[in-house]
Chains A and B, each alone.
Chain A
Amino acid sequence: MERKWIGTAALFVLPALLLFITFTYYPFIRSLYYSFTTWDSIRKPVFIGLDNYAFLFEDRKMIAAAMNTFKMALFGLLIQNPLAIWIAVLLNRKFVTGYFLRAAVFFPVIISLVVLSVVWSQILSYEGTLNLVLNQLGLSGWVRDWLGETNTVFITIILLTQWQGLGYCVIFYLAGLQSIPADLYEASRIDGAGAIQRFLKITVPLLMPTITIVTFLIIVGGLKLFDIPYILTSGGPGTASYTLALAIYNAAFRENNAGYSIAAGVVLMLIIMVITFIQLQITRRREVEM
């Protein structure tokens, strides 16, 4: 009976499995092979062993891209994550404009990236709105091409990315906060616990499962960042706003070096796996169940 059940279950899983094998596993295995070749994606690949992987550690552009990528993930972890919790705690209260503010916080998430990049590139350009406002406020010394200078471009992109993704994290935390029973807070107030104590002893432990998920998403999103630097700056000026994902894309499509690009992609995958594994181990241990 059990064998028949397993057979039936296998039949139901088979279509999805076939899809996965065809469109995920087989291309992945094939890509692993190409990562050991020099290949322009047109002619036959030529096997070169580990040369692509070795060059990754000599390539200044990849190293610069890796540094930027880690900065992005770190900023998300240390700034965006706590900020999202704080905003979610504020929005979790009942007040008149609560729903409007929730929508306003979430609004950047649903804006098309193309629209976002067009609008912000206008605002941040040398003759854009931001510099106009700075001039009007008498801060003309601060006027610059925010996306065109090596010392301002990446921090600008980080802030843009955080602004765009903040609402996504807030919604997760809001949902997590609303699943915490209100009577726990009541009881703690009766026992004389202050706001900070309630936050640290009740909110954070019970929110830990959500923190695990959101932290995971922030780290992975930061490590995979591609779209905003691609649209706004193409990684420039120089390599100031390069990210690993963008460097991988350019290696494949601008430099016609598909083998090297795949090798970089494999390394990025391993980095993401290791970092997220460590993060999940740390945060899951702190999860508390009711």
Chain B
Amino acid sequence: MAKQKRLLISLMLIVAVIMAGCSSNNNNGAGNATETSQATSKAEPTVKAAGGSDEAFTIRLGGWFIDDRTFMQEFKANVEKKYKEKYPNATIQWDILLGATYFDRLKAELASNTAPDVFFHQNTVNQYAEVDYLVDLSDQPWVSQLSPGTRPATTVNGKIFGGTLGLSGAGVWYNKQIFNDLGLAAPATYAEFLALCEQIKAAGKTPIVLGFKDTWTVGLFMSNFFSSVLNGIDPTFNKQLYDGEKSLEGEEIQALLNKVQNLTEKGYFNKTALSIDWPQSSDEFTSGNAAMIVQGAWLPGAAEENFTKKGHSRFDIGYFEFPDDNGFYSINLSPSETLSLNAKSKLQQQGKDLIAIIMNEDILGPYSVGNGSLPPLEGMNVTYSNTAMNEFLAAVNKGKTMYGFEAFISSSAETSLIETMTKIVSGAKYSPADLKDAQTKHEKDKATRVLPPE
């Protein structure tokens, strides 16, 4: 009797453990301050997909950038409204995880077959297509409208695996009020840029505000600062860097780092450069404490939010890209968020329809205006309400647009250079060993880098 009791208890324990281990545990919302998922998520749709517009189902859409900015909320509302017109009883579950952690979670979800039905991602089309995570969308109606600039980013072996929400650029945004008060104009050469930094500093303002606590801003600054000079030397410099004909230890990169060192030594950056993040640097700019900020084309929209919600005095914002010594500049334009369909989703048609709705002028138009991105569809005319964006467009149309040099080196080499940049901005001098480290890592890991299309 005692033996049977013990056996029964043991069996119950084993069953309980197995049941616990097999339960669905895909809750994204609990305890995460940055997460805005609107419902507890399940890997499976609420209703088995069987086609038909009246069916009730929940479709999951994953992303990392859809925050509480006004145009983002409007984007969500517009998408939901359009989708309801096609599927009145459908619900879109927005699986949003703000920040870089989203990409790590997406990788794990794709590997474990729990990823959203439709998801945004960035710079991973080749890898995901290679392991069959993505659906070939070449036959979709919006594909023929994709602009030549965005198409290559989502094309693998001639097939289209997603759409992009636009082309993003970056550069130097400046406070026109400060410039006008000091009699300054956007610089045409690097020497003019240095001269205006000195005048701004003498006037008691911070010439350039950095928010390097967010390491992505370091990469963005580096990419923009390096771009004009390297592309001005040779339009194929970046490719030569990848192939090993040019080196990260070379005089070109050293000269650029010396320039950054010079800017630091002259006190042209804010003293808090390494302890404030992007939103705080944005506040420094819009509060009028700093004259310039290096950021993406979303800056005018973010500034508008600060003017409206934080009560900062409004001023006009101007744009220029870092010029080289000879007055040449190039702007890094790259496809922004890519939208793809999960190959394992049970809502294939519904997912395709959701992507088609998003890849439409009605949705992309307001999004492009708010985000400051160039629209991805040919023939789309977007009128930016912010004059700064028009200056950005004019610069894009007038200058050269290219991929940044970081698209041609391994991630580990880029990280090494970013660390060297933060070291320089902290006031320390960089050493040749720092660049040797970056070059060694590039040679070791360059096979992991998927080159951008030519």
Contact = CB atoms under 8 A, between A and B. Distances in A.
B107 A60 contact: no
A255 B10 contact: no
A121 B422 contact: no
A151 B212 CA distance: 18
A118 to B, nearest CB: 11
A234 B419 CA distance: 10
A45 B283 CA distance: 44
Interface string A43-58: 1100000000001001
B272 A125 contact: yes
Query: For B14, B213, B410, which residue has the most chain A Cβ atoms within 10 angstroms?
Result: B213
Contacts, number: 129
A125 B275 contact: yes
Interface in B126-152: 127-128, 130-131
Interface in B274-302: 274-276
A254 interface: yes
A40 B14 contact: no
A15 B14 contact: yes
23 contacts: A8-B7, A11-B7, A18-B14, A38-B445, A38-B447, A44-B131, A58-B440, A59-B441, A60-B434, A61-B416, A145-B275, A147-B275, A150-B427, A151-B428, A234-B213, A236-B422, A237-B419, A238-B422, A238-B426, A250-B415, A253-B100, A257-B445, A257-B448
Nearest to B2: A8
B445 A60 contact: no
B272 A127 contact: yes
Closest 7 CB pairs between A and B? A238-B423, A148-B274, A237-B426, A11-B10, A15-B17, A236-B422, A237-B422
Interface residues of B, number: 52
A22 B21 contact: yes
Given A41-B107, A237-B426, 7 more contacts: A8-B7, A38-B447, A42-B131, A61-B416, A125-B275, A147-B275, A254-B411
Contacts of B426: 145, 148-150, 153, 236-238, 240
A95 to B, nearest CB: 40
A149 B104 CA distance: 30
A151 B428 CA distance: 9
Interface of A: 4, 8, 11-12, 14-15, 18-19, 22, 38, 40-44, 55, 58-61, 114, 121, 124-127, 145, 147-151, 153, 233-240, 250-251, 253-257
B412 interface: yes
A55 B33 CA distance: 38
Contacts of A250: 415
B423 A257 contact: no
A19 B14 CA distance: 10
Given A19-B17, A40-B127, A43-B130, A240 B272 contact: no
Contacts of B412: 251, 255, 257
B127 A43 contact: yes
B423 A256 contact: no
A159 to B, nearest CB: 17
Contacts of A121: 275
B305 interface: no
Nearest to B124: A42
Contacts of A255: 410-412, 415, 445
A148 B448 CA distance: 32
Contacts of B28: none
B13 A145 contact: no
B86 to A, nearest CB: 32
A43 B274 contact: no
B13 A12 contact: yes
A30 to B, nearest CB: 13
B36 interface: no
Contacts of B13: 12, 15
A240 B415 contact: no
B433 interface: yes
A254 B411 CA distance: 7
B124 A12 contact: no
A42 B128 contact: yes
B444 interface: yes
B168 to A, nearest CB: 20
A124 B272 CA distance: 10
A60 B416 CA distance: 10
A169 to B, nearest CB: 28
Contacts of A22: 21
Query: For B111, B212, B434, B441, which residue has the most chain A Cβ atoms within 10 angstroms?
Result: B441
B420 interface: yes
B273 interface: yes
Contacts of A124: 275
A8 B16 CA distance: 17
B419 A239 contact: yes
B448 A38 contact: yes
B113 interface: no
Given A15-B14, A22-B21, A40-B127, A145 B411 contact: no
Contacts of A18: 14, 17
Nearest to A13: B10
A67 to B, nearest CB: 15
A81 B385 CA distance: 62
B286 to A, nearest CB: 17
A240 B423 CA distance: 8
Contacts of A147: 274-275
A254 B417 CA distance: 13
Given A19-B17, A150-B428, A257-B445, A238 B7 contact: no
A148 B411 contact: no
B131 A43 contact: yes
Given A40-B127, A41-B107, A257-B448, A61 B17 contact: no
B3 interface: yes
Query: For A38, A148, A150, A250, which residue has the most chain B Cβ atoms within 10 angstroms?
Result: A148
Nearest to A23: B21
B271 A149 contact: no
A241 B188 CA distance: 39
A61 B440 CA distance: 12
Contacts of B415: 250, 254-255
Query: For B16, B124, B419, which residue has the most chain A Cβ atoms within 10 angstroms?
Result: B419
B192 interface: no
Contacts of B127: 40, 42-43
Contacts of B273: 148
